[in-house]
Amino acid sequence: MSIRKSLVPVLGILSLFMIAGCADAGYTPTSDTQEQKATTNTAVTQEAPKEVMAVKLGSILPMSGDASAYGVEMKRALDYRIAEMNAEAEKNGYKVELIVEDGKCDGSAAVNAFQKLTDVDGVKFIIGGGCSSESLGIAPLLAEKKVLALSAFSSNPEVEGKSPYLFSLSYSDKLVGEGLTSELGKYKKVALISEQQDYTQGIKKIVEATLKEKFPEAEVVANEEFAKGATDFRNLLDKVKSSGAEVVLLNPNVGVTAETLLKQIAEMKDWKVKFVTQFAYLNDKILGIAPETAEGMVIVDVPSISEPAFVEYKAKIVAANGTLDNLGSFYTATALDSLNILTKLYVDTNGDAAVARDTLASQSFTGWSNSTLTFGGKSFVQGVNVAIYNVKGGKAELQN
């Protein structure tokens, strides 16, 4: 699969999301000396204050729980960009306020966060949900309250068509599921290990269906699930090992669960098997927990963005606000794009979420994650391809 790297190569891209400020009013200085008072009656023209639009945005992110590293890092990226915007608020004609609520990577918590943002804070534009569970949780509430939600990384295929007011800048997991299946289909005996969570269950369903359709000769010899946030996988792993599987799909949620699962696999002896997985292991720090076990692992997930202008900009965020290692380049880019796009829509429509929704659904935007971002009436952004990574020496290296 090809990877799109046609990003706008300079930081001037960000100006596409700015609104030009008003022209400067005239100002004629005068001296307060007695001589001037006696000889002239020169008027003082004060500079008229410029009107600055208040852009109030909400965000629902996993700020606590197993996936909190992703929410914390996304907020770092958003905070950096907002500081840039607000440093030039008068010139640009707007000032951004971002209210972040904790969705805990959980649908019920996301609903509580949504109700607080809309009923208490009066928010009509939301960055999020972050996790698919958060986006799916708030989806039924969006149209009734005419609240526009743009997620940076919700990828569960069920997001598609869930609400006319819900959009995602992520790829759909349907692409990832099909990519994972292509790797699993190279073997005769396949095992699946999945967490009971919206994102991972979406992946599992796609893999099961695609294996049956495209690789009927591949036998699923084990198909195990574990509860969300589980911490002990030893019995489950023993069952999978005894199944005789040649390849195993590791399908946990991101964060602590993925780390714990890899640690306990590393504790097992004499298990030579191929591991195929998704975004949960696209992190060198996690791979470093058990480098020998992870060696040769195949990861199917997000595109890699290596455009120098973006790499430089991301480095500035890291230097100022801290690491983005979990978020990675693609989701750092979509986080920034979600903020830029919603800000522009808010300003252009004077905060009318219904009009902004129609614009987002039908028009194209320029961003870091892709030079052309368009939805074409769909919930997911169009034209995103997945990538294949091979783990070598504790690092995920891009294959395609």
Residue 385: its pLDDT value, please? 81
Lowest mean pLDDT among 25-29, 51-55, 218-222, 249-253: 25-29
Pick from 354, 312, 306, 314: which is nearest to 337 by CA?
A: 314
Residue 43: its pLDDT value, please? 41
Q: Both tokens of residue 206?
A: 């796609």
Pick from 183, 176, 130: which is nearest to 157 by CA?
A: 176
Q: Tell me the whole-structure pTM to 2 decimals.
A: 0.77
Residue 283: its pLDDT value, please? 86
For the stretch 297-342, pLDDT in tens is 999 987 778 899 999 999 999 999 999 998 989 999 999 999 999 9
Q: Angle at which helices 198-214 and 173-184 pack, to 10 degrees?
A: 50
Cis peptide before 26 (omega within 30 of 0): no
| More reliable by pLDDT, 389 or 16 | 389
Residue identified by tokens 């609520």 is 101
In which band, very low, low, confident or very high, does the pLDDT at 400 lie, cut at 50, 70 and 90?
A: low
For the stretch 10-23, pLDDT in tens is 333 344 443 333 33
For the stretch 161-194, pLDDT in tens is 999 999 999 988 899 999 999 999 999 999 999 9
Residue 8: its pLDDT value, please? 36
Output the average pLDDT for the chain: 88
State percent of the chain over pLDDT 90: 76
Residue 50: its pLDDT value, please? 64
Domains of the chain: 11-18+53-171+305-383 (3.40.50.2300), 174-301 (3.40.50.2300)
Residue 386: its pLDDT value, please? 80
HEC readout, the chain: CCCCCCCCCCHHHHHHHCCCCCCCCCCCCCCCCHHHHHHCCCCCCCCCCCCCEEEEEEEEECCCCCCHHHHHHHHHHHHHHHHHHHHCHHHHCEEEEEEEEECCCCHHHHHHHHHHHHHHCCCCEEECCCCHHHHHHHHHHHHHHCCEEEECCCCCHHHCCCCCCEEECCCCHHHHHHHHHHHHCCCCEEEEEEECCHHHHHHHHHHHHHHHHHCCCCEEEEEEEECCCCCCCHHHHHHHHHCCCCEEEEECCCCHHHHHHHHHHHCCCCCCCEEEECHHHCCHHHHCCCHHHHCCCEEEECCCCCCHHHHHHHHHHHHHHCCCCCCHHHHHHHHHHHHHHHHHHHHHHCCCHHHHHHHHHHCEECCCCCCCEECCCCCECCCCCCEEEEEECCEEEECC
| More reliable by pLDDT, 400 or 96 | 96
Pick from 369, 339, 131: which is nearest to 228 by CA?
A: 131
Residue 235: its pLDDT value, please? 97
